[in-house]
Amino acid sequence: MHYGRRAMDTPPRTRAAATLAASRHALALLALAASLSACGRSGSAADAPIELPGAAGSQKAQGASAAALASPAALASPAPAEDEPPPGLPEGPPIVSLGGVATPPAPIPEGRPRLASTSMLTRVYARPSTDAKPVGFLRAGAVVEMDPEPAGTSGCPGGFRKIKPFGYVCVGPDATLDLDDEIVRATARRPDVTHKLPYMYGTVTRGGPAYARIPTEDDLARFEPSLKKHLDRWAKDEESGATYGLDVWLKWSAEPAPPALDALAQRITDREIPWYLRDGRRAPNLSGLIKTSDAVKIDEVSRRNGMAFLESFLHEGRRYNVTTDLRVVPADRFRPIRGSEFHGVEIGKDIDFPFALVRRAGGKRWRVVGKKLVDGGELEWRSAVPLTGKQQFFGGKLHYETKDGDWVDDRHAGRIDPAKKMPAWGKNGEKWLDVNITKQVLVAYEGTKPVYATLISSGEAGLDDHKSSTATKRGIFRIHTKFVTSTMDSDTVGEEFELRDVPYVQYFEEGYALHGAYWHDKFGRPKSHGCINLSPEDARRLFFWTEPAVPPGWHGAARSLTGTVVFVHP
């Protein structure tokens, strides 16, 4: 089934390329996620729509010949639109290298004027006018350096401020000059780009309430009347219950925590409860769901949800997490998510051509003895195997010779070679991504030089028509919009779900995107319903390698015409 695509709203929500997870406890959520097609966007009714650069300059390339792709006319590099400023980014190493090394940017010098975001998505405009194009986005808690003087009031009564390294932000409902604002202080923890997952993550195993504050005993009796039964099941669940994944919730904890069941039995309360939840206080209303001064339960989470968290703490024995929009949820209703450990290889550093990536489990190394193949042992799943370049059919199946004299078959290991016909954008020295749907492989190039290779999960309909199936759209595109994290959801009746804070999202055509998938570990096989799924670590590395660059402290960037080329082909 194919679903239409919506314009982008705030906060960003998307029809995702979601796929099945390994854990059977995530199946209810992920079976629904797997029904998505491509990546449209939707948002709450209270959110104002925003105009973003589209895939201007992209071309259809289904069936395009190598000669056509190599032609300079195949994909020009137009000058930026008049509305968009030059990037003006600082010199120095990338925030994250292709090798995965993070180099945090220098802090803002003391005494410099600053501005802070108070919204889940604060627009950065190309000019000091709300009629200008957004060139980037901040998220609540982000603090950026600004010029001290106002820069105009077109559409913004509070006045625009020019921020570093470029762009203008309207001081008003979405941004403030008051760095002591409650939302700014409560969301001071920034996404952790030194790690494959920028927040703590969990998928819902047992639905329940989301609160505006820490619930009292009376609140629990009212809103969770079956709590004892729920906790009894949670205590016995070895795969996603009390004994599983406590380390995930301790990501930012300075002290060790007792086992979950011990904490519950002893009614332990952490010394460091978030300041905004102490003494019965309600969280700042970043979610927009706190409608009255006495609100307690403000939302529901269901088995169709995946979420990210800023905080985790014990209160009277029970652990609570705080979502990125400051909802308080019981941690025992979530399965902690670590995310896949897989990532690709740097070409020329980790391995050289020719090589194969093992895309399916269960593969074997084979040795030729006489005229027969003899089992030479297990082939490590998703490893990179150096090849000699020789290939041969055995039993009607294509095999590749490894440098240690064994043979591996093409069903389990896909041979990776450099582009046979270098396209114009490569000859021009641009960065570009070569996405091979048949092999389920992505190769990143810097001009004509291949620098990184990894396995992907594209649309599960393979090479079918993307308009009527779950196939990934093929063609030549440019990345136009990026978010450190973005929410992906479906409101199709019977298939509703929401995956919050999907990491490292890069849109390249309409709603189609490359993004990290924290809910499955099937990279190397078609599993999505339109988007190109990457392992979280691959998504992190490529996010900071591609254009448009996301400046330090920003949550996203948008720029038409000049983003990194994405070539998706059979």
Query: Looking at 416, 449, 467, which one is the last position of a domain?
Result: 416
CATH (domain of 550):
2.40.440.10
409 in any annotated domain? yes
CATH (domain of 366):
2.30.30
Residue 496: what pLDDT?
A: 58
Query: Looking at 135, 156, 187, which one is the last position of a domain?
Result: 187
Q: Are residues 502 and 445 in the same domain?
A: yes
Residue 35: what pLDDT?
A: 36
pLDDT digits (tens, 9 = 90+) for 318-355: 999 999 999 999 999 999 999 999 999 999 999 999 99
Name the active-site residue from 343, 480, 515, 529.
Answer: 515
37 in any annotated domain? no
Q: Are residues 217 and 305 in the same domain?
A: yes
Residue-wise over 347-364: b if at least 16 C-beta within 10 A, else e?
Answer: beeebeebbbbbbbeebb
Q: Are residues 174 and 231 in the same domain?
A: no
Q: Are residues 219 and 308 in the same domain?
A: yes
Q: Are residues 483 and 409 in the same domain?
A: no
DSSP character at residue 190: P
Rounded Cα distance, 117 and 553, in Å: 11
- The answer to whether residue 515 is catalytic is yes
Give the CA distances from residue 281 to residues 275, 293, 296, 300, in Å, rounded to whole numbers and listed in that order. Answer: 9, 10, 10, 20
Question: Which residues span the domain enclosing 330?
Answer: 200-337
- The answer to whether residue 531 is catalytic is yes
Residue 488: what pLDDT?
A: 81
119 in any annotated domain? yes
Q: Are residues 165 and 212 in the same domain?
A: no
Query: Is the distance from CB of 455 to CB of 382 less than 8 angstroms?
Result: yes
Rounded Cα distance, 308 and 498, in Å: 12
82 in any annotated domain? no
Rounded Cα distance, 459 and 17, in Å: 7
40 in any annotated domain? no
Rounded Cα distance, 30 and 48, in Å: 29
Q: Are residues 412 and 329 in the same domain?
A: no
Structure tokens at 398: 């294509």
Residue 461: what pLDDT?
A: 65
385 in any annotated domain? yes
Rounded Cα distance, 401 and 412, in Å: 14
348 in any annotated domain? no
Residues of the chain with pLDDT under 50: 1-37, 40-82, 493, 495
Q: Are residues 155 and 237 in the same domain?
A: no
Q: Are residues 441 and 468 in the same domain?
A: yes
* Total of domains in the chain: 4
pTM, 2 dp:
0.87
Query: Looking at 275, 302, 337, which one is the last position of a domain?
Result: 337
87 in any annotated domain? no
Name the active-site residue from 25, 399, 531, 555.
Answer: 531
Q: Are residues 534 and 436 in the same domain?
A: yes
Q: Are residues 538 and 444 in the same domain?
A: yes
Residue 433: what pLDDT?
A: 98
Give the CA distances from residue 449 to residues 437, 440, 525, in Å, rounded to whole numbers and listed in that order. Answer: 21, 20, 26
Residue 209: cis peptide before it, omega within 30 degrees of 0? no
